[in-house]
Amino acid sequence: MEHILKLALERAEAAEVFSVTDEEIPVEFEANRLKHIQAKQSSIVALRIIKDGRIGYAVSTDSDEPEGLVSMAVETAQFGMQAKYELPGPQHYLPVQTYDPAVELVSLEEMVKLSQEMVDAAVKANPEILCDAGAGKHTASISIINSNGLEAHCRSSLFTLGLGGSVIRGTDMLFVGDSLYSSRPVVDAGPVISNVKRQLEWAGSQAKISSKSMPVIFTPHGVENALIAPLASAFSGKMVLEGASPLKNRLGQQVFDPVLNIEDDATMNYQAASSPFDDEGIAIRVTPLIRAGVVENFYYDLYTAALAGASSTGNGNRSGGGLPGPGVNALVVKPGDTSFEEMLADIKEGLIIEHLMGADQGNILGGEFSGNVLLGYKIENGKIAGRVKNTMVHGNVYDLLNDLAAIGNDARWVGGSLYTPSIYCRSIAVAAE
């Protein structure tokens, strides 16, 4: 890496080298049987330069040919945006634990056994189910160095377990599933199994639902796929700067229900998204976004922060190996003190949303969502009455989250970068066939 930096500095005023090598070993079951075992190794090196006051950027899978990489970056710098920021100097990082050597030591046989356990449990719960399941171990090393003396190195490990099942009767299809992520080996598939068994049980019969507004509980999975995308985009410093965020003039204002608290926090030890620094080498910290319903902060990378007259919040994110932009690290919705059973008991007629399909297709910028309830249950007199089908819900995240009946005490990680409890909203528009 040092030689790339040195070579780049012969042609540019400032430079940064970002490199990742990773290895991923997944074991996959298909239709209840072991089918694929893979080993994926990859490495990329990305070079960002400032030349004649402009940003240049190039990425390659081949760190052995630094000349090519530097030439590509120099070429792009002719047209790159003006460098309105400086690359950061040495940083102080929190001691976040991201690596457990035990992950690499988990044997393929053990991963097969864990997957088999999940499949067996699902088949026992419903003999008609066909499952895709799997376990994966993943290790990565990230290094960032730049011409202002920053040096950041981090090794991380990740272990995943996932179970997805389908039950098909004629044209009626039921899809269930859950997964677990950790930086340490997962030795117990129990939580995944019990969630899938619960989904199968609640979806065991079908219930009729009518078109009207009614209270709704989003389970942690439901929160993830219905509510998070519009919020994540509205709090992006970039969206705010561009005037595209509905929250642009609302800093310090009460926009959400006072029971709602959300932070960006990737500082917890051994979580999938945890890291001491972001993709620009800036220290990761806890950034409160919503505190008691009040808009507290937006999140920034270096460039957006420079334009907005703010500071980077450690949210520089290079998805897909591109130039950094603001991205959430890990969203944490603070749990409340209401149990799921208490929420349920509170509802005479309502809906539980576990999986909303198409929620990310509407006008996300405006906070609107509209989707088909792929997995959801009707509540009648405080009890689960069965699965709903052919049902659409429509709403606006800002209206929904400004009228909350309760926040659950059942917080969990979903999808590796969201920690959330169930959220009980007073009213959502339901359209059913």
Angle of helix 2-9 relative to helix 66-77, nearest 10 degrees, comes to 40
Burial class (CB in 10 A: 0-12, 13-18, 19+), 123: middle
- Minimum CB separation of residue 179 from another protein in Å reads 13
Which lies closer to another protein via its Cβ, residue 238 or residue 412?
238
Which lies closer to another protein via its Cβ, residue 139 or residue 267?
139
| CA separation for the pair 62, 340 (Å, rounded) | 51
Which lies closer to another protein via its Cβ, residue 330 or residue 359?
359
| CA separation for the pair 364, 372 (Å, rounded) | 16
Which lies closer to another protein via its Cβ, residue 129 or residue 284?
129
Output the CA–CA distances (angstroms, integers) from residue 42 to 25, 34, 181, 290, in the order listed.
12, 25, 21, 38
> Residue 268 corresponds to which amino acid?
M
Which lies closer to another protein via its Cβ, residue 96 or residue 196?
196
| CA separation for the pair 19, 46 (Å, rounded) | 6
Identify the bridge partners of residue 167 per DSSP, sorted by sequence position.
174
- Minimum CB separation of residue 112 from another protein in Å reads 7
Which lies closer to another protein via its Cβ, residue 54 or residue 285?
54
Q: Are strands 331-333 and 418-420 parallel, antiparallel or unpaired?
A: parallel
- Minimum CB separation of residue 249 from another protein in Å reads 9
Q: What angle do CA 203, 205, 211 make, to 5 degrees?
A: 85
- Minimum CB separation of residue 124 from another protein in Å reads 19
Any idea what DSSP says for residue 258? Answer: T
| CA separation for the pair 391, 375 (Å, rounded) | 10
| CA separation for the pair 253, 256 (Å, rounded) | 9
Burial class (CB in 10 A: 0-12, 13-18, 19+), 340: middle
- Minimum CB separation of residue 360 from another protein in Å reads 7
Which lies closer to another protein via its Cβ, residue 1 or residue 268?
1
| Tokens linked to 41 | 């190794």
- Minimum CB separation of residue 201 from another protein in Å reads 20
353 and 369 in contact (C-beta within 8 Å)?
no
Which lies closer to another protein via its Cβ, residue 222 or residue 246?
246
Which lies closer to another protein via its Cβ, residue 165 or residue 276?
165
Give the containing element (helix H, strand E) for 146.
strand 130-146
- Minimum CB separation of residue 2 from another protein in Å reads 19
Give the containing element (helix H, strand E) for 387.
strand 383-387
- Minimum CB separation of residue 154 from another protein in Å reads 21
Identify the bridge partners of residue 54 per DSSP, sorted by sequence position.
51, 82
- Minimum CB separation of residue 69 from another protein in Å reads 8
